[in-house]
Amino acid sequence: MRKPLRTDNAEVDPAREVGADGVRPRPAWRRRAVIVGAVVAYALLAAGCRPLTRPALGAVLVAGIPLCWLGVRRRPRRAPSAGARSAAVWLSLLGLVAAFELGLWLGPDDPAHPTLSTLADPVLSTYPGRVLGYVAWVGSGAWLVSR
Amino acid sequence: MTPRAAIVAGFAAILALAVAVDLVARRAGSGVRPLSAALAAVLRSRGGRVAVFGAWLWLGWHFLAR
């Protein structure tokens, strides 16, 4: 019995395909692992800088400016419109957070009325807390760039 | 309840509300899209990208460097 001729490329592994420039593209999982590794390595280094210092500002800018540049310049993926209802719901939540935070910021400046950043300070004053903070921040930036 | 405890509870309630909205939005037939899809929609335009990345950079500066 003869095997049917294959007329499609459904079983071709995209990772094995060779591009026009002769270079094989990296598989998605490997690219993802490289990004995760880079984010964690950056966070471990950057968390060595204590907040309110110039090294900390440099650590934020050294990752923040390139990611912003990439994210703004990159051609966006096609995504369906969110719709008026979604926009209303999410903008209402954003407005609620902003109003709550602004009320605290304009209110009494004492430990009894902490803003969100004041509440985060005890966590971010420790090295493990800063590692988590940098992972969350740079990870979210990398995710935004990929959209 | 002290003012500090009330403020912490307020932030926790807003976070819980956001998580609940996102979970409801992921159910089939929901008229609201999840946060990730809403953000992806905002990022379709150049202006949206500038606003989102500007906010993201400000958050990093505010919490980690300032």
Contact yes or no for A119 and B64 at CB 8 A: no
Cα B36 from chain centre: 9
Assess B26–A contact: CB distance below 8 Å, yes or no: no
What does pLDDT average to in each consecutive run of 10 residues of chain B (66 residues)?
A: 92 96 92 91 91 95 89
Residue B8 contacts A where some CB pair is shorter than 8 Å = yes
Question: What is the complex's ipTM, to 2 decimals?
Answer: 0.89
Out of B7, B31, B41, name the one closest to residue A79 (CB).
Answer: B41
Domain ranges of chain A: 26-73+85-146
Please check whether residue A138 is in contact with residue A37, taking contact to mean a CB–CB distance below 8 angstroms. Answer: no
> What is d(CA B60, CA B66) in angstroms, rounded to the nearest whole number?
9
* Per-residue pLDDT reduced to its tens digit, A73-101: 987 777 778 788 999 999 999 999 999 99
